[in-house]
Chain A
Amino acid sequence: MRPTPHRRRVLLLSSTLADAAATPAAPAPQPSSRAKKRRSGGLGRYILVRFLLIIPTVFILVTLVFLLMRTTGDPITAALGGRLSGAQLQERIVAAGYDRPVIVQYFEYLGQIFTGNFGETISDNRPVIEVVLTYGAATLELAFYALIVAFIVGIPLGMVAAYFRDRFPDAVLRILAILFYATPVFFAGLLMKLIFSVQLKWLPVSGRATTSSELELQLLDGKTGIYLIDALRSGNPDVIGDVLAHAILPGITLGLLTAGIFLRLVRTNMIGTLSTDYVDAARSRGVGELRLVRKHAYRPALIPIITVIGLQIALLLGGAVLTETTFEWKGLGFQLAEYLQARDFVAVQGIVALLAVIVALTNFIVDVIAALIDPRVRY
């Protein structure tokens, strides 16, 4: 008998189209019902295979970025052209080795990346890895706030929308979700600033903290760069309050974008699971409607949701670049925009390549979590 393809359609929308094919957590279809012996080490093998997949992913992205950036010529001319004389430029190009064949540069670059060297910026002569470590903390903090907002807003509202499917609350929530998605973060950020900072003057306009708080945090021993943690450790309530006040608008701005996507994702997947036989079966045992939504529909829906949430990390990072620019949140995204303005393509290339590694790693972790939740993979 021919193996019947296990057709499971994961219901996704827009930015996450047709992930059905790419849901790695979907259990392998058994070729037949014959001799159901347990496959030992299924999870371990899955994690291993999934981990090995990181290598080609990173390799492809790094290569792609390298090649694309080199099509415009050498980075020195791009960054400093016009400011230095032709001879000076040439001197620096030779010094940095950009006069050699691209293929040589490429392999050298690969080798450097392998040892964790992502290059040195042209505009301010800093190692890219140091730039990322310095500013990464701020981006991490922002992403953390955003995810909290997204989870708190997106998931429960998605469940509510699925529960009230096609009725008034559902309609309101869906349009809200589309609005969250349709509003570019920089515009949402501008609006919030206009209302809460300029008009109402409740919250600071931009930055991560006031100058005085920042000074205090800088002086702290063993600072993490994540202001919330540093502020908590400093124990100064004014500083904590100040840091939180600065975090609210950027966190909500970026969080709502993601929340809109979570909401739709939860809703569609829950509607899918709510129409399955096992929900009907549970209903026929006398299980209440709320419990059906909360337990029977939510948990199975969670598996594809988590997988797709992993893919949203990319969206979150892209959004972070824009949010940070809007709020002058001195994170990696903000820094990237600065380097872009300065045409410092070595810095851009390095940051983007490092982000590729981060994205690949996050997706791996998310997939493993999804697999751990799914008993069909776990056992």
Chain B
Amino acid sequence: MSAVTTPGADASTTRPAAVLTIEQLDVSFSTDAGAVKAVDRVSLSVAPGEVLAIVGESGSGKTVTAKTILGLLPETATAGGAVILARRDGSDSHDILSLDRKGLREVRGRDVSMVFQEPSTSLNPVYTVGWQIAEGIRAHNKVSKKEARQQAIEILGKVGIPDPSTRVDYYPHQFSGGQKQRVVIAMALVLNPGLIVADEPTTALDVTVQAEILDLLRRCRDEFGAAIVLITHNMGVVADLADRVAVMYQGELVEEAPVRELFAAPKADYTRKLLESVPRIGQRVHGSAEERAKKESLETAETLVEASGLRIEYPGRLGRGSFTAVDGVSFQIRAGEVLGLVGESGSGKTTIGRAIAGLTQVTGGSLTVLGTEMNGVKERHFKKTRQDIGFVFQDPASSFNPLLTIADCVAEPLRIHRRSLGERETRKKVGELLEAVQLPKAFGARYPHELSGGQRQRASLARALALDPKLLIADEPTSALDVSVQARVLELFAEIQREFGFAALFISHDLAVVDLLADRIGVLYHGELVEEGTSEQILTAPRNDYTRTLLASLPVPDPDAQAAKRTRNR
């Protein structure tokens, strides 16, 4: 298969100019605070067999645009402009915005279909997948149930579901996440529409599964000839799949260009910043003098955390067997060292972080944290040690008590362990902490919901640093943030770590992010530590197969490099 070049060139002469033309699209929502504009005069077009990626961060209006294409906006929304959708054979075209219910119903599925972000919620849990696929077929064509079922089996086979004639009768919960997304794609393909709208189709999936789904989407275009509107925030995904890219920011289209052009020479400021923010492997130059010096000093540093044969089990429900989240893991963290833990969902990485912080019980092996053995530890023995541990949580939305001000939240550790400080001293210290994480002092008076996600994560860092800890645990601190915000938070983290010199356990699913900060990286897979080494070694010369797959699956935010990588991996 030739790479990404000249989509649908073979048939372009017989096809209409565009399957989708969006002209001057405006979308507004009514909210408690009045009307809010989500999409502002956006014009786009998609040629047959082309993959157009719409890229943007949260709040850019990209998903609203996607939903508009299928007429799926909620009743609170009002849209203006035109969304012209052509039939695949060019025989007919409609303006989605002016279609009535019946017209919309006919167009959906036949001319345009959609792949949703979360495969586990986009399938109805109480019907078999075959039933759901057949329903879509029978909504448009008069075919018998048997025939529809046959078609469902056929399409399931085509999207790579093994043994489709049995699995057609499975319920969604019997499939894994990646397979569910395949089923969703099968549903989108079954009536052979000219256009598929894919809204963050791989965001909810692990990186290795993501690679498979991206391959499948490529086949949708190459083998089924469908044009794809790909909504994503992930530049790697864009580089992998897109032919053309439209960048949106705050409801407006800021740039539109062929994929290579966009990555090579972004015109808009925003695009440039966005591309710069994307973490990529190899961004950090390894082997510098500074790094070597640190490495040497670490070798003699004291060991703060030591795990050997660490095993953590969760008790099962009502007599069911227990679940082993971490299985025989050994590692060390020395003073001043940043250890990155990488793994996909279910790898046990978060559990290890929680065990070190005393949030999860250790059930086997040994884990020594700052001199305390955590296997069978009593809270009252561990309490004193707690002041030397800081923790930054993943979800900025829930990491602060919504009823307390930021200053109160940050002061919490001081009020518990430094009661002698007094109110004035505490306030002063809180101010300093906020400044250290580059938040204005005045933010202390605000409530958590009045801060943005990035600001909250910085405040969270301030709280973790309040007692000047020896060890900081950061559990996916940036995975809920936009790319540009993530870049700033990571930078701040690195800076503060250098300044304060604490040891850190940095947990992430993203190798590129870990690479930016970690001295050493541990790769977890199904509760086992499959490989551990310096960042340089893991990223350039991985020894373990899984690490290699992980690295290979990570799409590179560069179309040419990604195309080359894809060929190499095949």
Residues of chain A touching chain B, judged by Cβ–Cβ distance below 8 Å, are 1-3, 27-28, 31-34, 36, 38-39, 45, 49, 276-289, 291, 295-296, 299-300, 303, 373-376, 379
Contact A32 B127 (CB under 8 A): no
Partner of A2, one of B105, B108, B317, B360: B360
Q: In the complex, what distance in Å separates the CA atom of A300 from the CA atom of B191?
A: 26
Which residues of chain B are within 8 angstroms of A300 by Cβ–Cβ distance? Answer: 124-126
Which residues of chain B are within 8 angstroms of A33 by Cβ–Cβ distance? Answer: 176-177, 345-346
What is the minimal beta-carbon distance from B321 to any residue of chain A, in angstroms?
9
Interface centre among B101, B132, B349 (most CB of A within 10 A): B132
> What are 7 inter-chain pairs, A to B, with CB distance below 8 A?
A1-B325, A281-B187, A284-B109, A286-B136, A288-B105, A288-B139, A375-B125
What is the minimal beta-carbon distance from B301 to any residue of chain A, in angstroms?
29
**Is B173 in contact with chain A by the CB < 8 A criterion?**
yes
Contact A32 B346 (CB under 8 A): yes
Which residues of chain B are within 8 angstroms of A373 by Cβ–Cβ distance? Answer: 126
Cβ-closest 9 pairs across A and B: A32-B346, A286-B109, A285-B136, A286-B108, A277-B121, A284-B114, A285-B109, A31-B323, A281-B122
What is the minimal beta-carbon distance from A370 to any residue of chain B, in angstroms?
12
Partner of B72, one of A31, A280, A291: A280
**Is B512 in contact with chain A by the CB < 8 A criterion?**
no
Which residues of chain A are within 8 angstroms of B260 by Cβ–Cβ distance? Answer: none
What is the minimal beta-carbon distance from B130 to any residue of chain A, in angstroms?
13
Which residues of chain B are within 8 angstroms of A289 by Cβ–Cβ distance? Answer: 101, 105
Q: In the complex, what distance in Å separates the CA atom of A255 from the CA atom of B351?
A: 52
Residues 503 to 521 of chain B near chain A (Cβ within 8 Å): none
Q: In the complex, what distance in Å separates the CA atom of A379 from the CA atom of B191?
A: 30
Contact A282 B318 (CB under 8 A): no
Q: In the complex, what distance in Å separates the CA atom of A128 from the CA atom of B348?
A: 59
Q: In the complex, what distance in Å separates the CA atom of A33 from the CA atom of B526?
A: 10
What is the minimal beta-carbon distance from B63 to any residue of chain A, in angstroms?
12
Q: Which residue of A lies closest to B318 (CB)?
A: A49
Residues 175 to 217 of chain B near chain A (Cβ within 8 Å): 176-177, 184, 187, 191
Partner of A3, one of B107, B109, B174, B314: B314
Which residues of chain A are within 8 angstroms of B536 by Cβ–Cβ distance? Answer: none
Contact B135 A282 (CB under 8 A): yes
Contact B174 A379 (CB under 8 A): yes
Q: In the complex, what distance in Å separates the CA atom of A287 from the CA atom of B107?
A: 11
**Is B291 in contact with chain A by the CB < 8 A criterion?**
no
Q: In the complex, what distance in Å separates the CA atom of A281 from the CA atom of B115?
A: 8
What is the minimal beta-carbon distance from B212 to any residue of chain A, in angstroms?
14
Q: In the complex, what distance in Å separates the CA atom of A282 from the CA atom of B320?
A: 36
Interface centre among A36, A278, A286 (most CB of B within 10 A): A286
Residues 106 to 161 of chain B near chain A (Cβ within 8 Å): 106-110, 113-114, 116, 118, 121-127, 132, 135-136, 139-140
Contact B122 A283 (CB under 8 A): no
Contact B345 A277 (CB under 8 A): no
Partner of A285, one of B127, B187, B350, B360: B187
Which residues of chain B are within 8 angstroms of A379 by Cβ–Cβ distance? Answer: 171, 173-174
Task: Kindly supply a per-residue 1/0 record for chain B positions 329-348, scoring 1 wherever the CB is within 8 Å of any chain A CB and 0 otherwise.
Answer: 00000000000000001111
Contact B139 A285 (CB under 8 A): yes
What is the minimal beta-carbon distance from A286 to any residue of chain B, in angstroms?
3
Q: In the complex, what distance in Å separates the CA atom of A299 from the CA atom of B116?
A: 21
Contact A286 B139 (CB under 8 A): yes
Which residues of chain B are within 8 angstroms of A31 by Cβ–Cβ distance? Answer: 314, 323, 325, 346
Partner of A1, one of B122, B317, B350: B350
What is the minimal beta-carbon distance from B29 to any residue of chain A, in angstroms?
15
**Is B70 in contact with chain A by the CB < 8 A criterion?**
yes
Residues 286 to 342 of chain B near chain A (Cβ within 8 Å): 314, 317-320, 323, 325
Task: Kindly supply a per-residue 1/0 record for chain B positions 215-230, scoring 1 wherever the CB is within 8 Å of any chain A CB and 0 otherwise.
Answer: 0000000000000000
**Is B354 in contact with chain A by the CB < 8 A criterion?**
yes
Which residues of chain A are within 8 angstroms of B349 by Cβ–Cβ distance? Answer: 1
Partner of A277, one of B122, B187, B325: B122
Partner of B320, one of A39, A276, A375: A39
Q: In the complex, what distance in Å separates the CA atom of A33 from the CA atom of B204?
A: 13
Q: In the complex, what distance in Å separates the CA atom of A276 from the CA atom of B122?
A: 8
Contact B126 A374 (CB under 8 A): yes
Contact A286 B526 (CB under 8 A): no
Q: Which residue of B lies closest to A288 (CB)?
A: B105
Contact B347 A1 (CB under 8 A): yes
Which residues of chain A are within 8 angstroms of B132 by Cβ–Cβ distance? Answer: 282
Which residues of chain B are within 8 angstroms of A2 by Cβ–Cβ distance? Answer: 350-351, 354, 360
Q: Which residue of A lies closest to B137 (CB)?
A: A285
Q: Which residue of B lies closest to A35 (CB)?
A: B526
What is the minimal beta-carbon distance from A46 to any residue of chain B, in angstroms?
9
Q: In the complex, what distance in Å separates the CA atom of A2 from the CA atom of B314?
A: 9
What is the minimal beta-carbon distance from A298 to any residue of chain B, in angstroms?
10
Q: In the complex, what distance in Å separates the CA atom of A283 from the CA atom of B135?
A: 11
Q: In the complex, what distance in Å separates the CA atom of A28 from the CA atom of B318?
A: 10
What is the minimal beta-carbon distance from B327 to any residue of chain A, in angstroms?
11
Known: A32-B346, A278-B123, A379-B174. 8 other contacts (CB 8 A): A3-B314, A34-B527, A281-B124, A288-B105, A289-B105, A299-B124, A300-B125, A379-B171
Q: In the complex, what distance in Å separates the CA atom of A49 from the CA atom of B350?
A: 32
Which residues of chain A are within 8 angstroms of B526 by Cβ–Cβ distance? Answer: 34
What is the minimal beta-carbon distance from A303 to any residue of chain B, in angstroms?
7
In the complex with contacts A2-B350, A282-B135, A285-B108, A32-B177 CB distance below 8 A: no
What is the minimal beta-carbon distance from A268 to any residue of chain B, in angstroms?
18
Q: In the complex, what distance in Å separates the CA atom of A375 from the CA atom of B126?
A: 6
Partner of B135, one of A27, A285, A374: A285
Which residues of chain A are within 8 angstroms of B108 by Cβ–Cβ distance? Answer: 283-286
Q: Which residue of A lies closest to B128 (CB)?
A: A375
Which residues of chain A are within 8 angstroms of B126 by Cβ–Cβ distance? Answer: 299-300, 303, 373-375
Partner of B173, one of A3, A27, A45: A27
What is the minimal beta-carbon distance from B466 to any residue of chain A, in angstroms?
24
Which residues of chain A are within 8 angstroms of B113 by Cβ–Cβ distance? Answer: 284-285
What is the minimal beta-carbon distance from B170 to any residue of chain A, in angstroms?
8
Contact A286 B107 (CB under 8 A): yes
Which residues of chain A are within 8 angstroms of B187 by Cβ–Cβ distance? Answer: 281, 285
Which residues of chain B are within 8 angstroms of A375 by Cβ–Cβ distance? Answer: 125-126, 171, 173
Q: In the complex, what distance in Å separates the CA atom of A215 from the CA atom of B173?
A: 58
Contact A296 B136 (CB under 8 A): no
Partner of B105, one of A1, A3, A39, A286: A286
What is the minimal beta-carbon distance from B565 to any residue of chain A, in angstroms?
26
What is the minimal beta-carbon distance from B204 to any residue of chain A, in angstroms?
11
Q: In the complex, what distance in Å separates the CA atom of A28 from the CA atom of B323?
A: 13
Contact B171 A1 (CB under 8 A): no
Task: Kindly supply a per-residue 1/0 record for chain B positions 447-489, scoring 1 wherever the CB is within 8 Å of any chain A CB and 0 otherwise.
Answer: 0000000000000000000000000000000000000000000
Contact B135 A277 (CB under 8 A): no
Q: In the complex, what distance in Å separates the CA atom of A295 from the CA atom of B523?
A: 45
Which residues of chain A are within 8 angstroms of B318 by Cβ–Cβ distance? Answer: 45, 49
Contact B173 A287 (CB under 8 A): no
Contact B106 A376 (CB under 8 A): no
What is the minimal beta-carbon distance from A37 to any residue of chain B, in angstroms?
11
Which residues of chain B are within 8 angstroms of A295 by Cβ–Cβ distance? Answer: 127, 135
What is the minimal beta-carbon distance from A81 to any residue of chain B, in angstroms?
50
Which residues of chain B are within 8 angstroms of A32 by Cβ–Cβ distance? Answer: 323, 325, 345-346
Q: In the complex, what distance in Å separates the CA atom of A291 from the CA atom of B135?
A: 10
Which residues of chain A are within 8 angstroms of B348 by Cβ–Cβ distance? Answer: 1
What is the minimal beta-carbon distance from A202 to any residue of chain B, in angstroms?
44
Q: In the complex, what distance in Å separates the CA atom of A283 from the CA atom of B132?
A: 11
